[in-house]
Amino acid sequence: MFLLAFALGSSGAAVAAKPATRSGGKPEKKPTPDVLAEGEGKVLRWHFESGEILELKKFSEQVIKTGATSEKRSVFHRVLLETRAVDAAQGYQLEGTFTTLVRGSGSDSPFTETERHNASFFLTPAGMFTVPAGQYMPNIRSVPTFSETRDPALKDEAAMEPGTTWEKPGAEVMRFTDLVTVPFNVRYEYRGLENVKSQDGEKNCHKFIANYELNFGDAEQGGPRVFGYVTSIWFWDSAQGIPYYAQEDYNVIIVNEAGIANEFKIKSRSYYRKFQARTDPEKITLAEKLREELVTENPQISVRVTDHGVAISLPDVFFDTDSASLSSDAKSVLKQIGKPLAALKNRHIRVRGHTDSTGDEKYNQQLSEKRAATVAEYLIDKADLNPDTLSYEGRGARDPIADNSIADGRAKNRRVEIILLDK
Judgement on whether residues 187 and 321 belong to the same structural domain of the protein = no
Do 302 and 245 reside in the same domain of the chain?
Answer: no
- Which among 231-235, 343-347, 355-359, 389-393 has the top mean pLDDT? 231-235
Q: Which of 124, 119, 94 is nearest to 32 (CA)?
A: 124
Confidence of residue 20 (pLDDT cuts 50, 70, 90): very low
How confident is the model at residue 423, as a pLDDT? 60
Q: Are residues 85 and 149 in the same domain?
A: yes
Of 276, 291, 310, the residue at which a domain comes to its end is 276
Asked, for residue 1, whether it belongs to a domain, the answer is no
Per-residue confidence (pLDDT) for residue 137, from 0 to 100? 98
Q: Which is higher by pLDDT, 380 or 24?
A: 380
Q: Which residues contact 333 (CB under 8 A, 6 or more apart)?
A: 294, 298, 300, 301, 314, 318
Q: 323 and 250, same structural domain?
A: no
Residue 322: the pLDDT is 86
Specify the pTM: 0.84
* Average of per-residue pLDDT across 50-60: 96
Note down the domain range covering 264: 36-276
Domain contains 195:
yes
Q: What is the pLDDT of residue 255?
A: 97
Indicate the range of 32-36, 141-145, 206-210, 228-232 predicted with least confidence.
32-36
Query: Would 13 be classed as within a structural domain?
Result: no
| Exposed / middle / buried, residue 111 (Cβ in 10 Å: 0-12, 13-18, 19+) | buried
Question: Taking 60 as the threshold, does the pLDDT of residue 7 lie above it?
Answer: no
pLDDT higher for 347 or 274? 274
Q: What is the pLDDT of residues 330-339, one digit of tens each?
A: 999 999 999 9
Kindly tell me if the per-residue pLDDT of 24 is higher than 60: no
pLDDT of amino acid 105: 83
135, 240: one domain = yes
Number of domains observed in the structure of the chain: 2
Task: Note the pLDDT of residue 320.
Answer: 81
Q: What is the pLDDT of residue 344?
A: 85
355-364, pLDDT tens digit by residue? 999 989 999 9
Give the per-residue pLDDT at 16.
Answer: 34
Q: How confident is the model at residue 6 (pLDDT cuts 50, 70, 90)?
A: very low
Q: Looking at residues 385-414, what average pLDDT do you find? A: 93
pLDDT at 21: 42
What does the pLDDT average to over 202-219?
Answer: 97
Tell me, what's the pLDDT at 229? Answer: 99
Do 243 and 369 fall within a single domain? no
Please compute the mean of the pLDDT values over residues 113-133 and round it to a whole number: 97
- Is 405 contained in some domain? yes
Please report, as a single letter, which amino acid is at residue 347.
R
Residues 289 and 249 in one domain: no
Q: Is it the case that residue 12 has pLDDT exceeding 50?
A: no
pLDDT at 281 over 60: yes
Instruction: Judge if 292 and 252 occupy the same domain.
Output: no
| Model pLDDT, residue 200 | 79
Q: What percent of the chain has pLDDT over 70?
A: 92
Q: What is the pLDDT of residue 29?
A: 55
Residue where a domain stops, chosen among 242, 276, 310: 276
CATH number, position 370: 3.30.1330.60
255-266 pLDDT tens trace: 999 999 999 999
Same domain, 123 and 267: yes
Tell me whether residue 240 is in a domain: yes
Domain boundary among 276, 311, 346: 276
pLDDT at 368 over 90: yes
Which segment of 118-127, 142-151, 235-244, 273-282 scores lowest on mean pLDDT? Answer: 273-282
In this structure, the answer to whether residues 133 and 65 fall within a common structural domain is yes
Question: What pLDDT is attached to residue 30?
Answer: 57
